[in-house]
Amino acid sequence: MAGIDYTSLIPNNVALHENRRLQRALEDWQPKFLDWWQDMGPTGFQAKEIYLRTAVSVDAKGWAQFGYVRMPEYRWGIFLAEPEAGRQVNFGDHKGQPAWQEVPGEYRGTLRRLIVTQGDTEPASVEQQCHLGRTSPSLYDLRNLFQVNVEEGRHLWAMVYLLDAHFGRDGREESEALLQRRSGNADKPRILGAFNEPTPDWLSFFMFCFFTDRDGKYQLASLAESGFDPLSQTCRFMLTEEAHHMFVGEAGIMRIVQRACELMREHKTDDLRPHGGIDLRLIQKYLNFHCSVSLDLFGSEISTNAANFYTTGLKGRFEETKKDDDHQLKDAAYTVAGLDGERITVREEAALVSLNERLRDDYVADCARGVARWNEVIRKHGIDVELTLPHRAFHRAIGIFSEVRVSPDGRVISQAEWDARHGDWLPNEDDKAYIQSLMHPVTEPGKFANWIAPPPRGINGQPVDFEYVRLG
């Protein structure tokens, strides 16, 4: 593996200077990326100095450097995790063959599509979040938003590198198209549904980081198992950054929950609107929404595409190499949720076509661990309420459950009941307006909006009242 080259226009550890054609392609793309960032990146803060971490290495002991940066001057670079000597394709029909350093010709189209679909989510989330800076509950949170944003930008670079390095002219065209689609735009939307939903407020932002970035974690982890080694190395490094995004989400919601509990005890009520808080019922509604749209991102329960990605060695299971089976799954079965008329049931399906559902199961278990940590905060306040994940069939737009109406506790219900009740389960117009009414910026170091508790500690050992963003 090459050392880190920080002197060239594009910081990298892929020896870019040795491949002039690729270097030129990326240097040609770079100003287009910067134009996109200026247009679609965080509105109103491009000239401010932000205390950000920048990837400077892929060393597990320390890969980041912290310091003040103006976002358009952020060093977006290309970093691949260290190669694994003698790595093989670890699953599917090619199991046991040496991992591919070049794209196998017969899988070119499929692999390109996988990379483009992942790549498209990265700029999409920056677009979804571009107005949030104006209403941040603190400088600490403002900085975390921008950290997530610049790293999603870097993830876009990571995917564009793969496209330009391995897919020739098609790859370069896809790289351009990644800068042309726009989240929520009717004519040129982003590829996946959840990435066309706006992120209009900070409660939504934290929920997005918890639920939707976690989908990212599971997709990246499956792609990190890929037999196509450059994709594996790329995704392995992206996962180290992704962990912070999920931290932002989990800790953000935890602080809102904590503040809700404090206000409940102080005012002896669970209606926090008169006191400017976000009550647990409202948090539950936002949770229901973001969980359900993120569950859709895993695709249909039964999917021949998913089976093909696996048998061809392109996309593995979560923690594929830690599993103790034949890694081919030709005769294996898997239990999948299904519908029997009006009843939600489970049934055995072939494991290969059930891989989307299996990944969704891993994801749901991970989400449940986070929700349990939020409930721990509520319990410690002596409050007898629990947040819960909605049933996986609730409010789905993709897969078998998109055909029925289901309550959060998993009952198939009539359209009439849905019409009457969905405003109790999902944020309604009144709820959204209330959350919007709380969104006022707090910009004094160490101060926090009334609806969220301060974090227990700052970033990178800095105090909570550190000037994380220099607004002056």
Using CB under 5 A as the binding rule, whether residue 154 contacts Fe ion is answered as no
Which region among 83-91, 146-154, 261-269, 436-444 touches Fe ion (by CB under 5 A)? 146-154
CA distances 299 to 294, 375, 396, Å, are 10, 29, 11
CA distance 50 to 205: 19
In the complex, what is the shortest distance from the CB of residue 360 to Fe ion, in angstroms, rounded to a whole number? Answer: 18
Using CB under 5 A as the binding rule, whether residue 164 contacts Fe ion is answered as no
Q: Could you say which residues in the range 75-134 bind Fe ion, by CB under 5 A?
A: 122
CA distances 341 to 349, 404, 436, Å, are 18, 10, 40
In the complex, what is the shortest distance from the CB of residue 245 to Fe ion, in angstroms, rounded to a whole number? Answer: 4
User: Which spans in 59-107 are helix H?
Assistant: none
Between residues 143 and 245, which has the closer beta carbon with respect to Fe ion? 245
- β-pair partners for 336: 347
CB 15 within 8 A of CB 2: yes
In the complex, what is the shortest distance from the CB of residue 283 to Fe ion, in angstroms, rounded to a whole number? Answer: 22
Q: Which residues contact 367 (CB under 8 A, 6 or more apart)?
A: 210, 211, 214, 291, 389
Between residues 152 and 201, which has the closer beta carbon with respect to Fe ion? 152
Total residues contacting Fe ion by CB under 5 A comes to 7
Between residues 152 and 229, which has the closer beta carbon with respect to Fe ion? 152
- 345 is written with which tokens? 């049931």
In the complex, what is the shortest distance from the CB of residue 212 to Fe ion, in angstroms, rounded to a whole number? Answer: 8
CA distance 354 to 323: 16
Using CB under 5 A as the binding rule, whether residue 301 contacts Fe ion is answered as no
- 7 is written with which tokens? 């002197």
CB 128 within 8 A of CB 199: yes
Between residues 232 and 407, which has the closer beta carbon with respect to Fe ion? 232
In the complex, what is the shortest distance from the CB of residue 293 to Fe ion, in angstroms, rounded to a whole number? Answer: 16
Q: Which residues contact 55 (CB under 8 A, 6 or more apart)?
A: 63, 64, 77, 79, 154, 237, 241
Between residues 195 and 448, which has the closer beta carbon with respect to Fe ion? 195
Using CB under 5 A as the binding rule, whether residue 155 contacts Fe ion is answered as yes
Q: What are phi and psi of 374, to 5 degrees?
A: -65, -40
In the complex, what is the shortest distance from the CB of residue 155 to Fe ion, in angstroms, rounded to a whole number? Answer: 4
Applying CB under 5 A, among 245, 285, 290, 396 the residue interacting with Fe ion is 245
Q: Could you say which residues in the range 186-225 bind Fe ion, by CB under 5 A?
A: 213, 216
Between residues 213 and 229, which has the closer beta carbon with respect to Fe ion? 213
- Interacting residue ranges for Fe ion, rule: CB under 5 A: 122, 152, 155, 213, 216, 242, 245
